[in-house]
């Protein structure tokens, strides 16, 4: 169960997961040690509509940033939000940048939706310079509170309800 269907519009995403992403961006960047990195480009993997990209741009400038997202609509929303950033359409498992291009590759709230997380992590490591940072974060093990609440209520109404799908990276 994903919080936002893959067919969701960028506006719907911003009203749901995006609101968490905006609040999480400064905390995630601090966790990843972005402020301590030498100057250089940063990649936002699964940039969505650009919550993390925009936060980073406010501190580093859009030209120092790149993002990828597999959905053109989301990549376009990120481009509009962060003019000057190099935002491309691509999955996390096939990052379209050369080896050792970035000081950091960050993936905020996206790995739960990545079909092959191990391949995506390897791709992130490939495009980061030696000594750089690769960091990801996910929702808590029990997922989004609203989604968990929904599935608990669904199970009470119908014991055969499928429930929230467990995810190995959130264990």
pLDDT number for residue 73: 96
pLDDT number for residue 152: 79
Q: What is the pTM of this model?
A: 0.82
pLDDT number for residue 166: 59
Residue among 163, 159, 168, 108 nearest 141 (CA):
168
List residues bridging with 68 in a β-sheet: 45, 88
Residue among 90, 104, 84 nearest 46 (CA):
90
pLDDT number for residue 5: 43
Helix 72-81 with 51-60: angle, nearest 10 deg: 30
SS3 call for 53: helix
**Low-confidence residues of the chain: pLDDT under 50:** 1-5
């Amino acid at each position: 169960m994903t919080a936002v269907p893959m067919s969701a519009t960028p506006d719907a995403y911003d009203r749901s997961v995006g609101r968490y992403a905006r609040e999480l961006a400064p905390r995630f960047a601090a966790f990843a040690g972005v402020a301590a990195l030498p100057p250089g480009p940063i990649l936002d993997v699964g940039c969505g509509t650009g919550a993390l990209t925009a936060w980073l741009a406010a501190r580093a400038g859009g030209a120092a940033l790149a993002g990828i997202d597999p959905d053109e609509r989301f990549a376009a929303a990120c481009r509009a939000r962060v003019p000057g950033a190099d935002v491309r359409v691509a999955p996390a498992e096939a990052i379209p940048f050369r080896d050792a291009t970035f000081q950091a590759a960050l993936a905020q709230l996206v790995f739960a939706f990545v079909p092959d997380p191990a391949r995506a992590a390897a791709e992130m490591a490939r495009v980061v310079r030696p000594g750089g940072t690769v960091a990801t974060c996910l929702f808590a093990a029990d997922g989004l509170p609203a989604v968990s609440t929904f599935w608990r209520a669904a199970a009470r109404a119908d014991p055969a309800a499928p429930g929230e799908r467990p995810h190995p990276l959130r264990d």
